[in-house]
Structure 1
Amino acid sequence: YVKGAREVIGRISGEYNIAEGETTEDRRFDLEGVRCVGACGLAPAMVVDGDIHGDVTAESVLKILEKYS
């Protein structure tokens, strides 16, 4: 997985107690690992509610997700 994406997924999994392919209990988030969101130059990238976030790290991902609560 590109540029630390595995660590980002691990951080989300641990914080929200979900695995890839699952949805949080409150149905706020789905966690899906994909190979491409069309933003290779920003890898690792994630999409939340249609917004693309690039250069995501295990340290920054939770702060990004807090904006969607």
Structure 2
Amino acid sequence: MANQEQEIIRMFKSGDQDGLRLLFDLYYAPLCAYAHKYFDSLDQAEDIVQEAFITLWEKNSRCNWSSR
């Protein structure tokens, strides 16, 4: 994994919203393209990916990474 990606993940795990934004910017379009293969419309694929990011952020906020 590239150092930049490792730093983004570190930011995300620490609860930094900029880390979430960077993850979103990096992976949103590729994930939408992938999801679109499985759903009828691009809008539906985008909704699924957005929901996945919301769930990821919510679960991250409940996770105590420092204890791992």
Instruction: Please tell me the TM-score bracket, short chain as reference.
Output: 0.3 to 0.5
Q: Give TM-score, length-normalised by structure 1.
A: 0.32
Q: Give TM-score, length-normalised by structure 2.
A: 0.32
Larger Rg: 2
The structure where strand makes up a greater share of residues is 1
Question: Which structure exhibits the higher relative contact order, with contacts defined as CA atoms closer than 8 Å and separated by 6 or more residues?
Answer: 1
The structure where helix makes up a greater share of residues is 2
